Chain A
Amino acid sequence: MKSVIDLKNVGYSYQNKEEVLNGLSISIPEGKKIALLGANGAGKSTLMLLLNGVLKPNEGQLFYKGEPYNYKRKGLRALRQKVGVLFQEPDSQIIAPTVYEEVAFGLSNLDFDKETVRKKTDAVLECFYLTDIQYKNPHHLSVGQKKRVCFASVLAMAPDVIVADEPTSGLDHPYAQQMFKEFDFLNAQGKTIIISTHDMNHAYEWADYVIVLHKGKVWQCGSADEVFANEAALKEAGLPQPLLLQLAKYLGLKEMPRDVESFKQLIH
């Protein structure tokens, strides 16, 4: 499996106090849909900021396609074009006075000419159903709408790796589905998607690869089937097993169903 980002013995602590991550080593496989799981305060958001080069590890090193991260100005710029990050709190990302300018903001930092920026912005707005509210002040939107604006703004920059911190929290069902569809679409183009989530059920159904963080380390990683089968390890990390798995086990099914449809077929 080819990896896109490698972390070797990465340690991080805020303001040099308690260690949030210590000795964390992992390879992020390229072109996969990856779910990052962990209890509150496990360090998911911290890890995501490390991936984008926003935080610099106190120990260890990160590599993008084999090249060590370069924390100089130019290096970071190049890195951030390739690794886009969507923040957990939409409020902390919004800077522009209108939705349109917010979406155009990332693009205009990338040395495109204005016409190209406008064209791309229009396309992205359309794709996220934001055309109707493009002249609104993003601060006056609902949380879900804000999230979509932020996501559109990151995606407009067309990064190869998309890191999204709890992208669907606060979204209603249709928009959450839409968001996952968008992830699938991007993944089909060969992009690597990393999301953190507390929704075990969705993570199980959606992810190719799962990483569980606990005690500042990678507690478990591997394919969704492998990781979720290990109930004891999950429990220790403070996570429940997905509902489908619990049901399948209770019913004594031989195969483990990945989604509701295959579950229905199995019990018939």
Chain B
Amino acid sequence: MSFRIQNHTCIGIRVLFIVGAMILCYLSTSNVYHAFMIGLFAASTPLLTKFSFKIAFRRLMMPFLFVSIAALTVALELSFNTAGSPFIKVVFSKESFAFAIQLFLKSMSVISVVSLGIAMISISEMTAFLRFFRVPELLIELLVMVHHSIQIIGHKTTKLYTAQKSRMAYNGQFKNGLTCFSLLVTSIFSSSLNQIQQQAIALDARCYNNKLVWVLPRKNIKSIQLVWLTIGLSIITIPVFFI
């Protein structure tokens, strides 16, 4: 069985699911629940989106790094001893350690939810949703353009990096690596800028009117998908009452 559903509703369901999961993560104080959410959302990224497990993992690496650094700074306390030696003492207090763990898990759980959200909701769907809530056009256009520029830069970077690699760049020597990297950065900058200009031209050529109107394809929702949604919602809410 399948039935037609308004695009707004379709996007709305997904956004609500993500936002709901985010709120649950914020509210919960249980480490176990946070760890559970991290595992669940990281594991379901390859299932629900086009990303492979490897890429889904890589997407989480960057924030993981930052969050770990933040957690470490909270966990460690440095005390300076001006009189005797040792000069610096690293102190691990039990409370600060527990707090750091909690901070780490909570941040990571929110990040994994948001990361799935970004992967599941395309920029045009986001536009439709924002427009539904009467967000000013200028902000929407800005959002789309920024998103697009980031995408272009991302694509350019992978292409240029592969091109460099294929010409024996980054051969392990530090100096060579540095030169290649600085070349890469300048090249990305100029070519992305060029392409962003080209993009503006191409938009103009198709009668772009300073209002990004997307026409999304009509989607049919199958009843099985609603069942999955209910299962997903219960998986993330039920543990809250037990843990």
Chain A residues at the B interface, C-beta cutoff of 8 Å: 49, 52, 54, 76-77, 80-81, 84-85, 87, 89, 91-93, 95-98, 100-101, 104-110, 114, 117-118, 121, 134-135, 137, 139, 153-154, 157
Known: A91-B195, A97-B124, A139-B151. A104 touches B202 (CB 8 A): no
Chosen A-B contacts, 5 in total, with CB atoms closer than 8 Å, are A96-B214, A98-B124, A100-B216, A101-B124, A118-B218
Contact call A121/B215, Cβ cutoff below 8 A: yes
For A139, list chain B residues within 8 Å (CB): 151, 155
Cβ-closest 8 pairs across A and B: A92-B198, A97-B122, A106-B206, A108-B213, A104-B215, A109-B207, A93-B202, A100-B217
Residues of A within 8 A of B213 (CB): 108-109
Residues of A near B2 (CB, < 8 A) are none
- Residue on A with the closest CB to B213? A108
Q: Please, what's the 1-or-0 string for B46-81, where 1 marks a CB less than 8 Å from any CB in chain A?
A: 000010000000000000000000000000000000
B208 within 8 A of A: yes
Q: Which residues of A contact B143 (CB under 8 A)?
A: none
For B215, list chain A residues within 8 Å (CB). 101, 104, 107-108, 114, 117-118, 121
Contacts A101-B124, A101-B215, A104-B214 given; indicate if A49 touches B198 (C-beta within 8 A): no
> Which chain B residue has the least Cβ–Cβ distance from A106?
B206
Q: Is B220 an interface residue (CB 8 A)?
A: no
Contact A106 B207, beta carbon cutoff 8 Å? yes
B122 — nearest CB in chain A belongs to which residue? A97
Q: Which of B196-239 contact A (CB under 8 A)?
A: 198-199, 201-209, 213-218
Q: Please tell me if B11 contacts chain A, counting CB pairs below 8 Å.
A: no
Q: Are B206 and A154 in contact (CB under 8 A)?
A: yes
For B89, the chain A residues whose CB sits under 8 A away are: none
For B204, give its contact among A54, A81, A118, A121 (CB under 8 Å).
Answer: A54
Interface residues on B, range: 20 to 34
Contact between chains at B217 and A80 (CB < 8 Å)? no
Asked if B184 is at the interface of the complex by the 8 Å CB criterion, the answer is: no
B148 cross-chain contacts in A, Cβ below 8 A: 95
Q: How far is the CA of A98 from the CA of B216 in the complex (A)?
A: 9
Q: Which residue of B lies closest to A52 (CB)?
A: B205
11 additional contacts (CB under 8 A) given A114-B215, A157-B206: A77-B209, A80-B207, A87-B198, A87-B202, A89-B198, A93-B199, A100-B216, A100-B217, A101-B217, A117-B215, A134-B217
B10 at the interface (CB under 8 A from A): no
Tell me, in angstroms, the Cα distance from A108 to B214 when the chains sit together: 7
Identify which of A80, A97, A135 contacts B123 (C-beta below 8 A): A97
A92-B195, A101-B124 given as contacts; is B204 within 8 A of A135 (CB)? Answer: no
Assess the A109–B123 pair: CB atoms within 8 A.
no
Nearest-CB distance from B61 to chain A (Å)? 21
CB-nearest residue of chain A relative to B195? A92
List the B side residues contacting A89 at CB < 8 Å: 198
With A and B bound together, what is the CA distance between A52 and B203 in angstroms?
A: 12
Complex contacts, B201 vs chain A, CB 8 Å: 49, 54, 92
- Alpha-carbon gap, A153 to B204, bound state (A): 14
Chain B min CB distance to A184 (Å): 24
Are B199 and A92 within 8 A (Cβ)? yes
B31 CB → nearest A CB, Å = 36
Contacts of B206 in A (CB 8 A): 80, 84, 105-106, 109, 153-154, 157
Residues of B178-194 contacting chain A, CB below 8 A: none
Choose one: A54, A96, A101; the contact of B205 (CB below 8 Å).
Answer: A54
Say whether B122 contacts A95, CB under 8 Å: no
Taking each of A76, A97, A104, which has the highest tally of chain B beta carbons within 10 Å of its own beta carbon?
A97
**Closest beta carbon of chain B to A102's beta carbon, Å:** 10
Nearest Cβ in chain B — how far from A85, in angstroms? 5
C-alpha spacing A107/B215, complex, angstroms: 9
Return the chain A residue nearest B50 by Cβ.
A137
Determine the residue in chain A with the shortest Cβ distance to B219: A135
